[in-house]
Amino acid sequence: MILTEHLTKQYGGLVAVNDLSLNIPQGQFFAFLGPNGAGKTTTIKLLAGLLKPTSGRALVGGYDIHKDPVEARKILSYIPDMPFLYDKLQPMEFMVFVGQLYDMERTEVARASDELFEVFGLDEIRRQTIENLSHGTRQRLVIAAALLHQPRVIIIDEPMVGLDPRSARLVKNVLKQRSRDGVTVFLSTHVLPIAEELADQVGILHRGKLVAVGTIDELREVSGEKGELEDAFLALTRGASATVEMP
């Protein structure tokens, strides 16, 4: 569902993403890890079509995100770490607006919004203006809006920032459930326990290069660390340069 082939992004002399090749099948929950400045956000922006690769290509649902962006974005939802919302709109108005942008029928928008509002506990604030919502509520609203058009691929950058434990649990459950239902989730995070808990596969990026990809157990095995994912992560990002592909 997400395919990158030799994806490279250079900033002058700096190679932010270096020859990244990934194949993430439908329904997989993929956690993308890496230290600060490893190139995670650049990769995500390349996958969302916000940045143009220096070389290589990225396909979402079979569509090249740079050659056929409109078709790719129809099946994609991108949730950045600092999402945008219209402060003067009400949550329900925002949902209707987003639904129309994705060519959804009004009745369908209303039905899906009701469902998502209930799931995310947003029912009580549907008629308040967004500017009055707390950070956590805004974050839940953004995620609800991103799920409105039933995307087949979700790309999400640091989703748990600012969420209380209940909201964080809720978001994790929803994302995992979507993944079980066949949606591909590409999640970038610094919080290793989240990856440990949710991910089917984990990719570790270090200095723009994919240094390891596989299940948690496979990462533990290849890193030689048998304990927490944190130990494996630290071992794998200790100056590695070659990709370790799992069988």
Partner 1 sequence: MSGLTFFRLQAEVNARIMRRNILALREKSYLMVAVILLFVVGYWIAGYELFYMGFHRLAELPALQVIVLDRMLYLFFAFLFLMLMFSNMIIGYSTLFKSQETQWMLTLPVRSLDVFQWKLLETTLLASWAFLFLSAPLMAAYGNARHVSAGFYVKVFLLFVPFTIIPAALGSMAILAVARYLHRHVFKWALFGVSTVGIACAFAFLKPMQAEDLEPAQMSAALQQLLHNSRVAIEPLLPSYWVASSMIDWAGGLTGRGMFYFLVLLSNALMSMLVCVAVSRRLYYEGWSRNHGQGEFQLGVPLLDKPIKLPRMALVERIVNAWPRLHGATRALVLKDIRVFWRDTSQWSQFVIFFGLLGLYVLNLRSVAYDWNNEYWASFVSFLNLGATSMTLATLTTRFVFPQFSLEGKRLWMIGMVPYGLKRVLLEKFWLSSISSAAITVPLMLTSSWMLRIPGWLTLLFASTIAVMSFALCGIAVGIGALFPNFSSGSTANRRDDNPARIVSGFGGTFCFLLSLVYLVLVIGSEVLPMYVSFAANGFNDRGQPWGLVFSWIFVSLFSLVAATIPMSLALKKVELLEI
Phi, psi of 150 (to 5 degrees): 55, 60
In degrees, rounded to 5, the angle at the alpha carbon of residue 136 between the alpha carbons of residues 131 and 141 is: 70
- Closest residue by Cα to residue 125 from 161, 168, 89: 89
Buried b (16+ CB within 10 A) or exposed e, 42-81: bbbbbbbbebebeebebbbbebebeeebeebbebbbbbbe
Q: Smallest distance, Å, CB 100 to partner 1?
A: 5
Q: What is the chain's Cα-based Rg? A: 18
Query: Which residues of the chain form contacts with partner 1 (CB under 8 A)?
Result: 9-12, 14, 16, 42, 45, 48-52, 69-71, 73-74, 76, 78, 80, 82-89, 93, 97, 100-103, 129-131, 135, 138
Q: What is the closest distance, in whole angstroms, from the C-beta atom of residue 230 to partner 1 in the complex?
A: 28
Smaller CB separation from partner 1, 87 or 217: 87
Q: Which is nearer to partner 1, 89 or 244 (CB)?
A: 89
108 vs 217 by CB, closer to partner 1:
108
Shortest Cβ 173–partner 1 spacing (Å): 24
> 5: phi > 0 → left, psi -120 to 50 → alpha, else beta; which?
beta
Q: How far is the CB of 245 from partner 1 (least distance, A)?
A: 28
Shortest distance, position 163 Cβ to partner 1, whole Å: 13
The residue (of 142 and 202) whose beta carbon lies closer to partner 1 is: 142
CB of 49 to partner 1, least distance (A): 7
- Tokens (6 digits) for 76: 């994609």
Long-range interactions of 109-115: CB distance < 8 A, separation 24+: 109/148, 112/148, 112/150, 113/144, 113/148
Q: Which is nearer to partner 1, 142 or 232 (CB)?
A: 142
User: How far, in Å, CA of 115 to CA of 144, rounded?
Assistant: 10
14 versus 217: smaller Cβ distance to partner 1: 14
